[in-house]
């Protein structure tokens, strides 16, 4: 009788039976939004290898929230939403003002809100306990400070057993393959926003067989992780043109670009300090050329802050640094803690040699130097972090239907990113929204955006289209803007005072009644 080794027998049986994959067990989940009530949903978890090349090694548990289709189409591929960042939660993205768009997309398709590895409730590493001290006078000093903090953070994470090399876009792309298998469908539809488009592109490259179609909003192409410095100058000029087109704004802000250049020269010659008050204390803010470069470059990326840039520049030129200090202070607050997943992800995606050469050349021509990309790529130098190979950053070739969405005032992911990506796609359409910036503008700045997305997910061909959003509502009164900054902390302080007074009064009455009964 023929004897077959047990190991070989198990292998043969596994091949005959086909691969086995974990499934997702969903349970009811009340999905609470910030301003649109609570809705019925389901939540489930599934596990993936920490490193997909080591399937028997440690594992991560990833979260998915399902918004079930109201009138499901037979065989319809579910829509998987991938948030930006990196570091954003797919579940958290739907809780805010974008909820109505998510709700519309579930008309005929399941919508899966996916927390990528290291985000939301998907095994998030602890934040770094060390905080930077924003005291550097220039770019070089700021780089050294950032590298010193990053070094301490990486040592702390590794000591805690955090596998930083497991946080790459390629590993996350393999997670999407695992999600498709666990959900039990032949294909999925990808819906990426900002960094989520970068991840979607990796899935389209590595696992094209599982993607039915994709919507990419605010495109970060395979080699777009680091931004081009002159894009800040171009967007500043665009805002200057919008100001010039309005007679009232033109008279108040006649030369935005010239005033910006002069302000940066002033701060280069003589840095200044400003005191920012907050309930509980004050904080000195150092205003240098580099701090102002960063404040302007970061602020031009979003409508809520871009609308205030002309007033900030003008008032600082006239000797009032209040608004500029608010911008610098806000950036310092946002960067108080370094997070493992975003650091490792962005460093791993990296930059090609050709792109880096272009960045270095443009930085010498830009008013803003290297401010837009700070602290990358230098922050990762000498930390031993994983960097993906050049093939990851090569152009994507895909035959899947893909709809690209861009805002023509979007500094973070400009339309040129989408145009470059579309050059090697066989079925691509580009929706360009005039006057739209990053984030919510790509969702909410025009009433036709949601119907276009819904029609595409339902099978419409991707076509080039243009929509017109309203231009930014530029701020014109400094005191009104400062009041907007302060009123929320003031209202919180007043609420605490009122609540404390009520508690004291109620407690006093109870104590008096207790005494009177004795």
Contact 88, 195 (CB under 8 A): yes
Q: How far is CA 378 from CA 22, 130, 142, 381, 510, in A?
A: 40, 19, 11, 5, 62
pLDDT in the model for residue 512: 54
Q: What is the pLDDT of residue 331?
A: 82
Q: What is the predicted pLDDT for the residue at 282?
A: 75
Domain 27-125+162-222+395-468 has CATH 3.40.50.1820: yes
Taking the C-alpha atoms of residue 132 and residue 251, their distance in angstroms, rounded to an integer, is 41
**pTM tops 0.85:** yes
β-bridge partners, 82: 114, 192
Q: Are 176 and 66 within 8 A, CB to CB?
A: no
Taking Cα atoms as reference points, which of 239, 356, 372 lies closest to residue 307?
239
Domain ranges within the chain, ordered by starting residue:
27-125+162-222+395-468
Residue 480, pLDDT score: 87
Nearest to 200 by CA among 413, 446, 466, 515: 413
Give the closest residue to 207 by CA, choosing from 70, 30, 52.
Answer: 52
Pairing of strands 272-278, 402-407: unpaired
pLDDT score recorded for residue 332: 72
CB contact at 8 A, 194 and 438: yes
- How far is Cα of residue 243 from the mean position of the Cα atoms in its chain? 28
In this structure, are residues 91 and 44 in contact, taking their beta carbons and an 8 Å threshold?
no
User: What integer pLDDT is reported at residue 405 of this predicted model?
Assistant: 98
Walking along the chain (518 residues) 10 residues at a time, the average pLDDT comes out as: 37 37 89 97 97 97 98 94 97 98 97 98 91 77 91 96 97 98 97 98 98 98 98 98 97 98 97 80 87 96 96 96 91 76 97 98 98 93 95 98 98 98 98 98 98 97 98 93 64 53 57 52
Dist CA 71 CA 73 (whole Å): 7
Output the CA–CA distances (angstroms, integers) from residue 260 to 199, 295, 324, 421, in the order listed: 36, 12, 12, 32
* Pair of tokens at residue 252: 């108040």
Phi, psi for 254 (deg, rounded to 5): -75, -20
d(CA 98, CA 89) in angstroms, rounded, equals 13
């Amino acid at each position: 009788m023929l004897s077959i080794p047990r190991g070989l027998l198990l292998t043969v049986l596994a091949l005959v039976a086909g691969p086995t994959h974990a499934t997702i067990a969903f349970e009811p989940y009340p999905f609470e939004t910030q301003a649109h009530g609570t809705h019925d949903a389901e939540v489930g978890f599934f596990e993936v290898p920490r490193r997909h090349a080591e399937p028997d090694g440690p594992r991560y548990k990833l979260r998915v929230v399902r918004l079930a289709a109201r009138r499901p189409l037979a065989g319809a591929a579910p829509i998987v939403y991938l948030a930006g960042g990196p570091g954003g939660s797919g579940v958290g993205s739907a809780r805010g003002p974008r909820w109505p768009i998510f709700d519309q997309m579930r008309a005929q398709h399941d919508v899966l809100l996916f927390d990528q590895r290291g985000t939301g409730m998907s095994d998030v590493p602890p934040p770094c306990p060390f905080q930077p001290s924003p005291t550097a006078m220039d770019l070089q000093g700021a780089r050294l400070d950032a590298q010193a903090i990053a070094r301490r953070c990486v040592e702390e994470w590794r000591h805690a057993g955090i596998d930083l090399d497991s946080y790459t876009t390629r590993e996350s792309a393999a997670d999407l393959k695992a999600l498709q298998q666990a959900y039990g469908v032949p294909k999925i539809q990808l819906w990426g926003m900002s960094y989520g488009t970068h991840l979607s592109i990796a899935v389209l490259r590595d696992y094209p067989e599982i993607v039915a179609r994709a919507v990419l909003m605010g495109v970060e192409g395979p080699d777009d992780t680091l931004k081009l410095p002159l894009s800040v100058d171009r967007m500043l000029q665009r805002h200057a043109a919008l100001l010039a087109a309005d007679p009232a704004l033109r008279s108040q802000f006649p030369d935005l670009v010239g005033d910006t250049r002069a302000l940066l020269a002033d701060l280069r010659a003589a840095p200044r300090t400003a005191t920012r008050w907050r309930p509980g204390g004050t904080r000195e803010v150092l205003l240098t050329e580099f701090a102002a470069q960063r404040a302007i470059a970061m602020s031009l990326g979003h409508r809520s802050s871009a609308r205030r840039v002309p007033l900030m520049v003008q008032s600082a030129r006239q000797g009032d640094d209040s608004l500029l200090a608010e911008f610098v202070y806000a950036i310092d607050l946002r960067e108080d803690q370094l997070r493992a997943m975003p650091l490792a992800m962005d460093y791993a995606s990296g930059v090609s040699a050709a792109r880096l050469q272009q960045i270095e050349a443009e930085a010498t021509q830009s008013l803003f130097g290297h401010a837009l990309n700070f602290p990358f790529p230098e922050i990762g130098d000498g930390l031993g972090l994983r960097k993906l190979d050049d093939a990851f950053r090569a152009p994507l070739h895909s035959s899947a239907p893909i709809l690209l969405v861009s805002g023509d005032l979007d500094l973070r992911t400009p339309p040129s990113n989408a145009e470059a990506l579309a050059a090697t796609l066989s079925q691509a359409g580009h929706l360009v929204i005039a006057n739209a910036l990053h984030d919510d503008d790509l969702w909410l700045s025009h009433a036709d955006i949601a119907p276009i997305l819904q029609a595409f997910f339902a099978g419409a061909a991707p076509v080039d289209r243009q929509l017109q959003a309203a231009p930014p509502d530029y701020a014109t009164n400094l005191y009104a803007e400062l009041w907007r900054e302060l009123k929320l902390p003031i209202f919180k302080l007043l609420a605490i005072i009122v609540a404390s007074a009520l508690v004291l009064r109620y407690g006093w009455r109870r104590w008096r009644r207790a005494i009177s009964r004795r």
